[in-house]
Structure 1
Amino acid sequence: MFLRDRGPSSAVERSTTLRARDLTPATRVLLVLQKIAPKNRGLGRDMLDWLEDLRELESGPDPLGDYLTVLTYIMTVGDTPETDIATVFEQLGPLAKEAIVTTAETIEARGRAKGRAEGLAEGRAEVLLEQMTVKFGPLPASAIRRVRSAGQDQVRTWTARVLTAATLDETLA
């Protein structure tokens, strides 16, 4: 089987076996990436053996979508610098280059959104801590840690509860 490791020559055997199977180019590329991409710091180099298979993505019904899927997967599970991946995809032509730009923009937008959400959550926690300090006086370190490590929904619940609670314990119940 392709994905089972069978010793030193297994990589060559897997490549040969996989290429011999009747699979679409996208399926073949994604199967190999499932094996070689996770936590791989040298994925750009390893992908050079699969350039022809990557080029075959252009023959599918949605080549740009296939490139985007491959890049998103690589960026999600791999540890290879984006520049190394870009070097591989630049060899594939303009559609692959477009996919690199689109993927980079998408990942950057996700990162900004995640950062905003984390900042909002931290801000809510700090406001809650301020409200509790005003209402109950200096807070024990354990209460501060508990609020700062709580999820957004919990902080939201406590923020509403602090308005009517008589004690700190009642707020954090």
Structure 2
Amino acid sequence: MTNPSRLHLPTMLRVCAYFVTGAVLALPLSRAPAVVAAALGAALGAVLGGRLARSPYRTIALLGAGLLMGVLAGAVHTLLLSATSWSAWLGPARAYRTADALLAMGVLGGGAFALRVLTSRRAWFAVLEVLVPVFAFTQLVVAHRDGAINRPFEIADPIL
């Protein structure tokens, strides 16, 4: 009998892939703290999704939990940005960055949780698990959209 608390290599690699994908998705949209928070949220969502996928709960309930994570993150973001005491306590710039980091963590955590539940329960959803990082990296190097440059130069220029 194997020890269930032992780390499993494919699971660790999958969590690392979710971490990197979360960072890449947030990179063009956010500052460094939000990128790190997004990556941590995606990794945590992948871990929790993989564990809860083995539970007896129905898939739709777990998907609802992932959606609820994202919606709650959006609600907390809105609440924090509208609270004057939050800005007074941290200062406006830091309050905005903190709220953005919490939003990125919650949305990507909920999305990773839902995707991990789906891929753990139905094998053909693994296609999405492969396509999400592909699209994340693709959006970094898309050079032009209708003549406008829409990419972070420090990442895309060496590749192009």
TM-score by length of 2: 0.25
Greater RCO, 1 or 2 (C-alpha within 8 Å, sep 6+): 2
Query: Which structure has more helix as a fraction of its residues?
Result: 2
